[in-house]
Amino acid sequence: DVKVTQSSRYLVKRTGEKVFLECVQDMDHENMFWYRQDPGLGLRLIYFSYDVKMKEKGDIPEGYSVSREKKERFSLILESASTNQTSMYLCASRVLGRETQYFGPGTRLLVL
């Protein structure tokens, strides 16, 4: 069964803090993705990774970075959190060459 987990369901941080969001999949998927989801804006891609140590910017990478040191783990880093980064963050993964993405449960981040 498909399993994507995210390190936290809810997170509250202060402006300026460095924030780490972690995503782990146990399906040996090559591709991993980070999205944010906001009311009225839908899902927007932040970064994605084709495979270990590979990353590509998505539509809204500003203020974010990522790390993929191991195949199963894809981390999203907010270098200096700001209030406009308050959002629902969703991780997804996919087998290379297949089309369907599988999502994690999401992390709802509040930046005060």
Residue from 24, 55, 93, 106 that binds other proteins (CB under 8 A)? 106
Q: For residue 54, count other CB atoms closer than 10 A to its CB.
A: 11
**Separation in Å, CA 104 to CA 4, 5, 89, 91, 92:** 5, 5, 9, 5, 6
Which alpha helices (H) appear in the chain, and where do they start and end?
A: none
**Per-position x/- string for 60-89, each x denoting binding to other proteins as judged by CB under 8 A, each - no binding:** ----------------------------x-
Q: How far is the CB of 13 from other proteins (least distance, A)?
A: 18
d(CA 15, CA 99): 37
Site residues (CB under 8 A) for other proteins, limited to 32-61: 33, 40, 42-43, 45, 48, 50, 58
Q: How far is the CB of 16 from other proteins (least distance, A)?
A: 26
CA diameter of the chain:
40
Contacts to other proteins by CB under 8 A: 2, 4, 6, 31, 33, 40, 42-43, 45, 48, 50, 58, 88, 90-91, 99-106, 108
